[in-house]
Structure 1
Amino acid sequence: MDDHTALIRATLDHIHQGVCIFNKENRLVGWNQQVANMLSLKLTQFRVGADFDFLFRRLQDELRIQSGTSPASVLAWVEDRGPRPPLRFEVRQRQGRVFDIFAQEMPDRGFVISFTDVTAERRAAAALRAANDLLEARVEARTAEIAVALADAERANASKSRFVAAASHDLLQPLSAAKLYCASLADDTLAPAQTEILSKALNALNSVEDIIGALMDISQLETGNAPVRVGAVDLGRVLRQLGDELHPAARAKGLDLRIRPSHALVQTDASYLRRILQNLIGNAIRYTRTGRVLVGTRTDGDALRIEVWDTGPGIPLAEHENIYKEFHRIDPAANTGNGLGLGLAIVERACALLDHPHGMHTRLGRGTCFHLTVPRAGLPPRDAALPAPEPGTDLAGLIVLLVEADSQTRRALSGLMERWGVEVLDVASGTEAAALLAEIDLVPDAMLIDAPVDDGHAGLALIARLRAQFGQVPCRMLTADCTPGLGADCVLMDVSLLLEPVDPAALAFFLASARVSG
């Protein structure tokens, strides 16, 4: 028995935990040296037969229970006469050491208490919590900084868009007047050298117009805040309007522009679809020197594939990815126009915005086909296209109502149309227009209505009032505002946009169309 006791004592002294053993009368019968070291007590204070209550009271000033266990609950566990479940809690010593205490009943109703030093673990956990709190604080601070930066960037983008719109409008007004005055001079008898200079001036003005329009488009697409209004769109109407605008440019280059009629309804944003097709057809006209440009559609399951073919030089394989980059042109020297190379960048971003798949195939020296796929919507419309005007249609005697707030543009437009024999009723506002028409009791053959840059829908409201009074008079909206919402509403009202600076050829084509439809 002595040897067995010595073995147990040696075992207890060599484990890293402190151990105390109490009998069923709650008196100390065994312990090891580690428990005295942990509790900073002399071994002489541990004696056989010491009562648990006595030792517990001696240690209460030295140790503080950390967990939800209280001193009273510990004493109640010790005094419990029934079966006792294991008890576990933590205490903190004055010096800062933390012990994990585990008490368990023995078969003879005595119990063993073990002390495990968990100071290092608790310090590591505390350090980890502090690091986590610091990291969370830094993340929150960084998130706040990013939110502020994002808000600043959004405000800057919005401010940039407003600035581009306002600046472009301010630039386009005098530019439009300059183009109209140049067009008026072209009707006079000029010397060949003067005619050449005038032609170069008009080309330069057209280039400035294209650049400003492209910058406005790309600016709106970059912000990501441009509204998208998807609905059923009459594709045939969009194609007819584009034909009215682009046929003069094609004829000026000797190209045969053919736009096959369509009676399909497609699910898209009317204004963005118009921009995409305008850029694709405009590019085809710009880069094709001889031959023709063909626009048509093919059925593709539940969708419609719109294709723009040209007989241009084709696109080298190495440039297939580059053509969609901003400000990139394959061969600037071969480009008969002076654009910035933004047309296809606008097409790609607008198609991505609308989720319309697009692509291209080309053959060097033979031509290129750009295409996009749009979903169908509902049944096709039954309205028929207006007959296209013949080149050189006589405009003499045509009565046109012109509402233009800018006096310089109004004078230039009036002067140009009067030289064509058009009778112009020019006013500065919708109020003046209503008063004038009521006074002379006359229905105009066509209307040109200015749309203010800060409220393009005010122009549409005026058109609606005038049409309610005089019937479905052919009308064009004069605007430098290319926002998607305005373009979509114009399509719904069967009103085409005549973008400023006004192209004299497009204006003449519209007036000729109005005479034919009348």
Structure 2
Amino acid sequence: MLRERLHAFGSAEKWQLDYLFDLSFQAWLVHIGVVTATMALLVYAWPGETWPWVWYAAICSFSVALAVLAWHYTHDRPEDDAAARPYGVAHSVLTFFVGMSWGLGAFGAATGDFHYLLVYSLALGGTALAAVSSQHALPRSCFISLWTSVPLLGLAHLYHDPGLGGVAVMVMMLLYGGVLSILSFRLLRFMTANVMLTRSLDAKLGEITEMAAELEDARREAVEANLSKSRFLAHASHDLRQPVHAIGLFTACLRDLRLDPEARQHVASIDNAARSVSRLLGSLLDISRLDVGGIVPQPERISLDDVLRGIGRQNADALRESGGDLVVEPAGTWVSADPALLSTMIQNLISNALKYARGATVRIRVRLDGEHHAVLEISDDGPGIAEADLRHIFDEFYRAGNDAHHKEEGLGLGLAIVRRLGGLMGLDVGIDSAEGRGTTIRIAGLPVVEPGAISVPRAHRQHPLTGLAVCVIDDDPDVLAATATLLRRWGCEVMEFTSLPEEAVGCDAVVSDFDLGGSLDGFGIVARIREMEGWNVPAAILTGRSEPETLMHLARSGIPFLRKPAHPAELRALLTGFALGDEVQEDDAAIS
């Protein structure tokens, strides 16, 4: 400990010298002022004496030298400890001469009256205290300044009064020097701790800054990865949906042929496999779009009865295959919600019920929760869900542990998508189920609004699709052939094109792909055909795109659209609406 203190006393780091010399220039100018006032007193007390002038010249010379040294240091600002060390040594040497000058001057003052010596003592004591405040960063200079002046001042008092009074004053002077020395050590210790803390904080700040830069780089990489993922999904969605869509259309054509039972079974197997691929692909793309924030709710005023009727039409074939029944209790309730997202939620819940509760009755009812909100309940009387599975039932890729669930194809994403879509729209999705008692899922928090206008149907045709002239446009030959073959099986007169027809073809409806690989997309094709035909030809757009901007654009266009792979029943229902002259609801056509 003693060795460390002696080392600290004899050496100094650059930060100590920086602090010392930053204060020194002004301090030594003030010191010269104090010396000048003291010299005036000495000249007044000892007129005609030479020694006050010699004392003044010596102490002023050393003070000016110290001020110049401080000025050079602050302007040159040494770069390291080695370059700064000579300045510290010069400071200590000059401080020694200043202290000695003050101490020797005290003996001159002791030759006169006591009150002159007392005033000189006050001046010296003040400069000693000032030395502690300005030089404690360099303890060597501080101690030299104190112990070359204060002890000599004590001896001067003893010289003035050799008796007991002089001894007492000398002892007091020594105690004063000791107190100032202790104060100097404490100031240095506090200052050193402050510097160490500052360095530690600077180091931590540097680490935090570096970590922040790394996190920012990681964030940028994540954003770029999400954008790449979104772009991949946009292209993969279209490319993967095309062949699955064609398979579904071809199998629908095969079902209408007079096939033997074995062939019909094969066709049914192919169709089921295509539907499974379609559902799995749709779930993966939906959950991926949710992950990258690609879905933004667009609430509208909608009739729940209309939405549920459309979903009932879409699930007619699935209900027949599962042997189940769908009961929708009309409520006449209008709410504010995104029709596409709400329909997707309901469709996922119905699909789950038909898949895992085959032969069960699925019941949909709407009830009011207070004056301003409605609750949509989808229930079935199937086998129910075990309590152990309920707490995980909304987790992604989770499937219930019973054998009945594992026999069905799926990824365990349907309910996860339902809850996440509900969260996007501010809805609360809850479940109530028990083994052997069926399942009820509630979508709560739907804002109730005033009813809107309901469209009035036009006159109906006697045979909806028979003779309906449909212009089909798709740049994929396989999809074009499959669509045309299916429509002809339904009795439609089909005109096939891979791009915009050159002239009016006299069509009653248009079915166009969205991405046609040319300068015109599906919107442009429909607009040009309507212009050539001279009337607002009913049209539907088929798309394999999944990015939110395109889907939002389609939803706002006023043209019904189907997501590939579209089920033939959905396309048939849409064309039937065109043939009957009904106003097709976008919400019914946009969910697939």
TM-score range normalised by the length of the shorter chain: 0.7 to 0.9
CA distance in 1, matches of 2:514, 2:335: 27
SS at 1:258's partner residue? Answer: strand
Q: 2:563 aligns with which of 499, 504, 517?
A: 499
Structure number with the higher helix fraction is: 2
Letter in 1 for 2:400: I
Contact 1:229 1:485 in 2 (8 A): no
Contact 2:540 2:560 in 1 (8 A): yes
Q: Counterpart of 2:107?
A: none
Q: Counterpart of 2:431?
A: 360
Contact 1:307 1:369 in 2 (8 A): yes
Q: 1:427 aligns with which of 490, 493, 497?
A: 497
Task: Describe the shift of the 1:332–1:464 C-alpha distance in structure 2 as closer, same or farther (beyond 3 A).
Answer: farther
Q: Give CA deviations for 1:425-457 in whole Å, capped at 9, x if unaligned.
A: 22233x32xx44x2x4x351x3323222999x9
CA distance in 1, matches of 2:537, 2:331: 24
Task: Describe the shift of the 1:207–1:472 C-alpha distance in structure 2 as closer, same or farther (beyond 3 A).
Answer: same
Q: Give CA deviations for 1:324-346 in whole Å, capped at 9, x if unaligned.
A: 11111115742464221111111
Matched, 1:448 2:518: no
Instruction: Give the CA RMSD over aligned residues.
Output: 4.2
Q: 2:288 aligns with which of 201, 206, 219?
A: 219
Q: Counterpart of 2:540?
A: 476
Contact 1:404 1:410 in 2 (8 A): yes
Quote the offset at 1:124 in angstroms. Answer: 2.2
Contact 1:453 1:479 in 2 (8 A): no
Q: Give CA deviations for 1:81-107 in whole Å, capped at 9, x if unaligned.
A: 9xx9x97943266677779x99xxxxx
Task: Describe the shift of the 1:490–1:287 C-alpha distance in structure 2 as closer, same or farther (beyond 3 A).
Answer: farther
Contact 2:301 2:335 in 1 (8 A): yes
Quote the offset at 1:287 in angstroms. Answer: 2.0
- Greater mean alpha carbon deviation, residues 220-229 or residues 320-329: 220-229
Q: TM-score, normalised by structure 2?
A: 0.65
Q: 1:169 aligns with which of 238, 245, 250?
A: 238
CA distance in 2, matches of 1:461, 1:491: 15
Quote the offset at 1:323 in angstroms. Answer: 1.1
Contact 1:238 1:491 in 2 (8 A): no
Task: Describe the shift of the 1:163–1:231 C-alpha distance in structure 2 as closer, same or farther (beyond 3 A).
Answer: same
User: Where do 1:317-356 residues align within 5 Å?
Assistant: 317-331=387-401, 333-335=403-405, 337-356=408-427
Matched, 1:91 2:135: yes
Contact 1:453 1:481 in 2 (8 A): no
Quote the offset at 1:207 in angstroms. Answer: 0.8
Task: Describe the shift of the 1:56–1:234 C-alpha distance in structure 2 as closer, same or farther (beyond 3 A).
Answer: farther
Q: Counterpart of 1:43?
A: none
Quote the offset at 1:262 in angstroms. Answer: 5.8
Q: Give CA deviations for 1:439-492 in whole Å, capped at 9, x if unaligned.
A: x4x351x3323222999x943465566668766655433112234454455555
Task: Describe the shift of the 1:120–1:418 C-alpha distance in structure 2 as closer, same or farther (beyond 3 A).
Answer: same
Quote the offset at 1:493 in angstroms. Answer: 5.1
Higher relative contact order (CA 8 A, sep 6+): 1
Contact 1:266 1:374 in 2 (8 A): no
Q: Counterpart of 2:112?
A: none
Task: Describe the shift of the 1:53–1:405 C-alpha distance in structure 2 as closer, same or farther (beyond 3 A).
Answer: farther
SS at 1:322's partner residue? Answer: coil
Task: Describe the shift of the 1:119–1:514 C-alpha distance in structure 2 as closer, same or farther (beyond 3 A).
Answer: same
Quote the offset at 1:264 in angstroms. Answer: 4.2
Q: Counterpart of 1:413?
A: 483
The count of residues paired between Structure 1 and Structure 2 equals 446
Q: Counterpart of 1:313?
A: 383
Larger-gyration structure (1/2): 2
Quote the offset at 1:213 in angstroms. Answer: 0.6
Task: Describe the shift of the 1:225–1:120 C-alpha distance in structure 2 as closer, same or farther (beyond 3 A).
Answer: farther
Matched, 1:184 2:253: yes
Task: Describe the shift of the 1:225–1:454 C-alpha distance in structure 2 as closer, same or farther (beyond 3 A).
Answer: farther
Contact 1:271 1:484 in 2 (8 A): no
SS at 1:477's partner residue? Answer: strand
Task: Describe the shift of the 1:460–1:265 C-alpha distance in structure 2 as closer, same or farther (beyond 3 A).
Answer: farther
Contact 1:398 1:422 in 2 (8 A): yes
CA distance in 2, matches of 1:474, 1:371: 37
Letter in 1 for 2:431: M
CA distance in 2, matches of 1:201, 1:347: 28
Task: Describe the shift of the 1:453–1:225 C-alpha distance in structure 2 as closer, same or farther (beyond 3 A).
Answer: farther
Letter in 2 for 1:206: R
Task: Describe the shift of the 1:200–1:401 C-alpha distance in structure 2 as closer, same or farther (beyond 3 A).
Answer: same
Q: What 5-or-longer segments of structure 2 have no aligned partner?
A: 1-33, 40-53, 75-119, 147-172, 583-592
Matched, 1:396 2:473: no
CA distance in 2, matches of 1:490, 1:386: 24
Task: Describe the shift of the 1:94–1:482 C-alpha distance in structure 2 as closer, same or farther (beyond 3 A).
Answer: closer
Letter in 2 for 1:163: F
Contact 2:475 2:517 in 1 (8 A): no
CA distance in 1, matches of 2:141, 2:294: 60
Letter in 2 for 1:280: L
Task: Describe the shift of the 1:57–1:454 C-alpha distance in structure 2 as closer, same or farther (beyond 3 A).
Answer: farther
CA distance in 1, matches of 2:397, 2:426: 23
Task: Describe the shift of the 1:267–1:119 C-alpha distance in structure 2 as closer, same or farther (beyond 3 A).
Answer: same
Quote the offset at 1:407 in angstroms. Answer: 1.9
Q: 2:223 aligns with which of 131, 140, 154?
A: 154
Q: Counterpart of 2:110?
A: none
Contact 2:335 2:448 in 1 (8 A): yes
Letter in 1 for 2:275: N
Q: Give CA deviations for 1:367-409 in whole Å, capped at 9, x if unaligned.
A: 212121244364211205869x9xxx76321222322222210
Task: Describe the shift of the 1:218–1:401 C-alpha distance in structure 2 as closer, same or farther (beyond 3 A).
Answer: same
Quote the offset at 1:136 in angstroms. Answer: 1.2
Matched, 1:509 2:573: yes
Letter in 1 for 2:486: L
Contact 1:260 1:295 in 2 (8 A): yes
CA distance in 1, matches of 2:386, 2:56: 95
Letter in 2 for 1:348: R
Q: What 5-or-longer segments of structure 1 have no aligned partner?
A: 1-21, 28-49, 69-77, 103-110
Letter in 1 for 2:565: P
SS at 2:393's partner residue? Answer: helix
Q: Counterpart of 2:31?
A: none
Q: 1:266 aligns with which of 299, 313, 335?
A: 335
Letter in 2 for 1:192: P
User: Where do 1:221-236 residues align within 5 Å?
Assistant: 221-236=290-305
SS at 2:541's partner residue? Answer: strand
Structure number with the higher strand fraction is: 1
Quote the offset at 1:163 in angstroms. Answer: 1.2
- Greater mean alpha carbon deviation, residues 417-426 or residues 238-247: 238-247
SS at 1:351's partner residue? Answer: helix
Matched, 1:372 2:443: yes
Task: Describe the shift of the 1:276–1:93 C-alpha distance in structure 2 as closer, same or farther (beyond 3 A).
Answer: closer
Q: Counterpart of 1:195?
A: 264
